[in-house]
Amino acid sequence: MRARAPLLLGSLLLGSCLWTAAPAAAGLRVVQGEGYAAIAGNDVARARKAALAEALYNAAGRVKTKIRGAGHLDTRGVMTEESSMLVEGSLRDHRIVQEYREGSRYVVIVEALAETDGSACGTKRVDLDVRPIAVQVAPGLPGHVLRAARESVDRAVQGLAAGSNFRATDNRDIPLAGGTEAARTDYASLLHGGAPNPSGYSISGRLLVERRRQANLLGENVDIVATLTLRLRDNVDGSTVDTITVTRDFNERSRLFGTPFETGSSAVDLSPVWQAAVAELDAKLGCRPLRAKVLDVNSGFVTLSVGTEHGIRKGDYFLLDLPGRRRGDWQVIQIEEASATMAQGRTLKPAPAVPVDAMATLLQ
């Protein structure tokens, strides 16, 4: 086992160098590893290094391990089986939790940041701030189409509260700063008392309803065409995460030339447009990292801006995002208690200090 450890240490050092450039994201979790090494010739320093290498190898093995096996049948008909274990876990960084001498051996216990395959999608709920969604109906369409379009927006926003991967807040009455910028804690939001969560996401957009005629030698079709465009933004930096566009056609009337027959419906149901958009929005936010803002630091306790409504539980870990950090200059917060929209925890290391307003990201 120890023969493979130097390779792991090399990978760990490489990962630590890249850590300064890699943003905190989903696909990370905290794992523990233990290592033991015999003390030969009273050389404690050498035994400590060997125990540390084994502890890191053990931690990586808890992230991803492959078991390989093979069977061989010889000429005498005797079956022999061979198996091997391949550790493929990747560690970003680590800290030594405990180390001590135990008789003739040295013991090291580490806690490491490990990369995962991101399979924990959909276990938490991010904040989604709903900003203005304009309704535009083409001239010539009857009034009931405009009413149906506006009512569909209201029903859809109410339904967003039941999203499985996000918790939505209706702030459509708060205009976007500058008209096109991301939702921020601007003057308008402060005035209305609905400032968006700075660690969440925002949507805004437009529902456009038009009429389309298609005619040929046999007849004519008239359709109502609804196009919903939603822009998903990141409240942290104001960037556009994605744009969701859904288009659906609804037959208003059809008739065959030369006959008195005409089919169609005056009722307009735009719910399929929103159902498709919400499903896509849910999928896009399902694997986004759950982030939190540091609200307060007091007597070793760190208060974060997420809670049980976001899926946070006691024992969860958050990685503190420290801009410009050096190797090892990271902090992990372990949650000890949580209310509906806030959580408190303690840092796992004495340093670095946790600044208020810093951003932290949930570890898997």
Q: Write down the H helix ranges in the chain.
A: 5-19, 44-61, 143-160, 187-192, 271-286
Task: Give the residue among 104, 89, 105, 86 at the shortest CA–CA distance from 33.
Answer: 89
- The tokens describing 53, both together, are 């290498």
Cis peptide before 272 (omega within 30 of 0): no
> Helices (H) and strands (E) in the chain — how many of each?
5, 17
Determine if residue 104 is left, alpha or beta; phi over 0 gives left, psi from -120 to 50 gives alpha, anything else beta.
Answer: alpha
State whether residue 335 is helix, strand or coil.
strand
Residues 6 or more apart whose Cβ sits within 8 Å of residue 50: 2, 5, 35, 37, 106
Distance from C-alpha of 173 to C-alpha of 317, rounded to nearest angstrom: 35
Task: Give the residue among 7, 19, 3, 4 at the shortest CA–CA distance from 114.
Answer: 19
Task: Give the residue among 107, 111, 50, 17 at the shortest CA–CA distance from 348.
Answer: 111
Looking at residue 315, what is its pLDDT? 87
Looking at residue 30, what is its pLDDT? 74
Distance from C-alpha of 212 to C-alpha of 224, rounded to nearest angstrom: 6
- One digit per residue, pLDDT tens: the chain, 364 residues? 333 333 333 333 323 332 332 333 445 667 788 889 999 888 988 888 888 888 887 877 776 544 444 455 556 655 554 444 444 446 767 778 889 999 999 999 988 777 666 545 666 888 888 889 999 998 888 888 889 899 999 998 888 876 778 888 888 887 665 444 444 444 444 444 455 667 788 899 999 999 887 776 666 777 888 999 999 988 887 888 899 999 988 877 666 665 666 555 667 888 899 989 988 888 888 777 788 889 999 887 899 988 998 889 898 888 886 666 555 567 788 899 999 889 999 987 777 888 888 888 887 6
Compute the half-sphere exposure of residue 122: CA atoms within 13 Å on the CB side of its CA.
6
Task: Give the residue among 147, 16, 20, 187 at the shortest CA–CA distance from 93.
Answer: 16
Q: Could you give the domains of the chain?
A: 5-115 (3.30.1660), 126-286 (3.30.160), 291-363 (2.40.10.410)
Looking at residue 75, what is its pLDDT? 60
Residues 6 or more apart whose Cβ sits within 8 Å of residue 197: 127, 129, 169, 235, 293, 305
Distance from C-alpha of 9 to C-alpha of 180, rounded to nearest angstrom: 48
Distance from C-alpha of 283 to C-alpha of 152, rounded to nearest angstrom: 21
Looking at residue 195, what is its pLDDT? 57
Looking at residue 68, what is its pLDDT? 46
Evaluate whether 66 touches 83 at the Cβ level (below 8 Å). Answer: no
